[in-house]
């Protein structure tokens, strides 16, 4: 059909792969865009950028603190640095430089961290990142994004080009389940109600959005009317949508591939408590533990973060 909307070229691609592709696109559009990494050229998908723009690519070796501090310098000179390393290193090893050099000075640096959550399954606790959302949402002026899939990653990155101030984009390692099939214009700070539900609403971010949609199907099969809300902007968070959902739904389950401490669930709980809304609520994610290692798919099942695990957790909440 002539009027049929064409599927996005990013369907079926991981958020980190799309990051690399769209970074080249942004660099072609704006000469201020530079790419910065720390000995992870291929892993963070910057190979094509380096090939096309060798003078705008900077590799600092295994020195994430230097990388982040130097990126602040690049931003001061008028560049828009897109910085990429693993999430655990971006948030913890270089956290001080992100806070004091970038955020404190309100610089337009974009920290796009890959291998977040437990997506680097075999890397174990040292390479899995359960604290990064909390670290970055606690920095004044920092905008925090967690895209659901490759298509949303592309929309999100395009929205950051002219955004004043610092940005953190949390990317995974494996290919996320498809949530969006068509390109769209991303609205910063707006949650997306993917499905309505009166019994339960799952508020979720990142690669778990697709699993939450699967959980909603399982719950509907047993008579539980379940909604799913993609909260891909963690900061500034969509207060209006979240409170409306809390007021009109029987229960709220937050789901994230992050510690339940100081992540999406904490942000949602703060809003609901301060608004004085009485609703059954549970944070679902990684408990206060260091994670184990193993294949990513197995870890999702182990921590009840796949569709079946989310549905099981929701049933316990409702009973």
Residues 65, 93 contacting (CB under 8 angstroms) = yes
Q: Which residues does the chain have with pLDDT short of 70?
A: 1-4
pLDDT, tens only, 139-161: 999 999 999 999 999 999 999 99
Q: In this structure, is the dihedral angle defined by the CA atoms of residues 47, 49, 51 and 53, taken in order, positive or negative?
A: negative
- 0.75 cut: is pTM over it? yes
Backbone angles phi and psi of 233, in degrees to 5: -100, 110
Of 138, 133, 299, 304, nearest to 232 by C-alpha is 133
Counting Cβ atoms within 10 Å, is residue 141 exposed (0-12), middle (13-18) or buried (19+)?
middle
**What is the structure's pLDDT at 4?**
62
In a 3-state reduction of DSSP, which class is residue 227?
Answer: strand
Give the number of other Cβ atoms within 10 Å of residue 9's Cβ: 13
Alpha carbon distance 50, 174 (integer Å) = 23
**What is the structure's pLDDT at 3?**
53
**What is the structure's pLDDT at 1?**
42
Residues 255, 310 contacting (CB under 8 angstroms) = yes
**Domains in the chain, start-ordered, CATH in brackets?**
15-170 (3.40.50.970), 192-318 (3.40.50.920)
């Amino acid at each position: 059909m002539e009027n049929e909307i064409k599927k996005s070229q990013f369907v079926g691609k991981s958020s980190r792969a799309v990051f690399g592709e769209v970074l080249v696109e942004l660099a072609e559009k704006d000469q201020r865009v530079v790419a910065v990494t720390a000995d992870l050229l291929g892993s963070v998908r910057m190979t094509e950028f380096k090939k096309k723009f060798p003078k705008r690519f900077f590799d600092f070796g295994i020195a994430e603190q230097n990388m982040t501090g130097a990126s602040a310098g690049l931003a001061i000179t008028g560049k828009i640095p897109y910085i990429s390393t693993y999430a655990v290193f971006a948030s913890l090893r270089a956290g001080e430089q992100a806070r004091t050099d970038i955020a404190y000075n309100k610089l337009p640096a974009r920290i796009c961290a890959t291998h977040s959550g437990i997506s680097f399954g075999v890397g174990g606790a040292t390479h899995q990142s359960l604290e990064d959302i909390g670290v970055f949402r606690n920095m004044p002026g920092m905008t925090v994004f967690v895209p659901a899939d490759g298509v949303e990653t592309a929309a999100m990155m395009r929205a950051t080009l002219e955004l004043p101030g610092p940005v953190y984009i949390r990317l995974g390692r494996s290919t996320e389940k498809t949530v969006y099939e068509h390109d769209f214009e991303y609205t910063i700070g707006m949650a997306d109600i993917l499905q309505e539900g009166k019994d339960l609403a799952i508020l979720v971010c990142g690669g778990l959005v697709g699993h939450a949609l699967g959980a909603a199907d399982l719950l509907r099969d047993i008579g539980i009317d379940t909604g799913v809300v993609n909260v891909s902007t963690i900061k500034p968070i969509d207060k209006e949508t979240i409170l409306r959902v809390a007021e009109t739904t029987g229960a709220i389950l937050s789901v994230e591939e992050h510690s339940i401490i100081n992540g999406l669930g904490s942000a949602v709980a703060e809003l609901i408590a301060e608004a004085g809304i009485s609703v059954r609520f549970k944070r679902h994610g990684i408990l206060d533990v260091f994670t184990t290692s193993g294949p990513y798919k197995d870890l999702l099942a182990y921590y009840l973060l796949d569709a079946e695990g989310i549905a099981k957790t929701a049933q316990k909440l409702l009973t």
